[in-house]
Amino acid sequence: MIYLKNKHKKNTLVFYNELFKKYGYDPRSLGWGSSEGKQAVQFEVLCQIGHISNCSVLDVGCGFGDLYAYIKYRGDKVDYYGVDINPEIIETGKKQYPKIKLEVRDIEEKKFKRKFDWVLFSGISSAGSTYSYIERMLKEMFRICKKGVAINFVGGVLDYKVKELFYSDPEKIYTITKKISNRVVIRHDYAPYQFVLYMYKNQKITQNKVFEEFRKESKIKLDDTLFHPKYKKHKAVRTTS
């Protein structure tokens, strides 16, 4: 049994145990409610952080490990590792997916020595969450990633609230990420009351002041004369900035 010192984590455990007793092996036990396809939307948006195929993926707060099933459904092959603080849910997940790595683990208390290409977290807005907890988790997740971190939140533009959930402000989340990485994306375009954060590890820039990885993956050519024939080619201007 994992020992939890943090009050928020204890509240989280109680919250999800009550759902699990009610629903058993079901997305509703993880707080997804009864809306059809809600879990699939969350998983897809997390996976859209980048090219995850043939990469290692750490799923923090993995629940039953269903993200693995979704990644497999997408046709991607990954080295998947799931961790969660809830022993009952992990044990159920092991029965569903006996061939994958699932562990009862608090990554703040038992830190990873190894690193993963992508570190994902779906469902940080559980009962009693705080900005200080989110900041600690983002820093630790970023420390152990090689490529990037994806994490989703309940929050953004709201017209109602449920008392059990913690609602995050995208501006406050961005204020936190600025301490960690200057290459981030905040998406609030896929569903109401939710948003997702991507933070990238590779922050190298080209001479033209573009993130190198973006240039390579987008296959963009840094030459404005290609689409504007009246522009004249010129030597790159070096700056001191």
Count structural domains, the chain.
1
Residue labelled with tokens 């301490």: 179
Q: Note whether residue 108 is domain-resident.
A: yes
Residue 35 structural domain: 7-200
Q: How high is the pLDDT of residue 1?
A: 41
List own/partner pairs for 78-85 with CB under 8 A and 24 or more apart: 78/52, 78/53, 78/54, 79/55, 80/56, 81/56, 81/57, 81/116, 82/58, 83/58, 83/59, 83/107, 85/2, 85/4, 85/9, 85/12, 85/13, 85/61
Nearest to 78 by CA among 38, 39, 116, 111: 116
Residue 149 lies in a domain: yes
Q: Confirm whether 146 is domain-assigned.
A: yes
Asked whether residue 184 is assigned to any structural domain, the reply reads yes
What is the DSSP pairing of strand 145-154 with strand 116-122?
A: parallel
Would you state the pLDDT for residue 142?
A: 98
- Could you tell me if residue 241 is inside a domain? no
The predicted pLDDT at position 4 comes to 46
Q: Is residue 148 part of a domain?
A: yes
pLDDT tens sequence for the chain (241 residues):
444 456 667 777 777 777 878 888 888 777 666 667 788 999 999 999 999 999 999 999 999 999 999 999 999 999 999 999 999 999 999 999 999 999 999 999 999 999 999 999 998 776 678 999 999 999 999 999 999 999 999 888 887 787 778 899 999 999 999 999 999 999 999 999 899 999 999 999 998 899 999 999 998 888 888 888 777 766 555 544 4
Q: Which pLDDT does position 161 carry in this prediction? A: 80
CATH number, residue 75: 3.40.50.150
What is the reported pLDDT for 237? 53
Has residue 128 been placed in a domain? yes
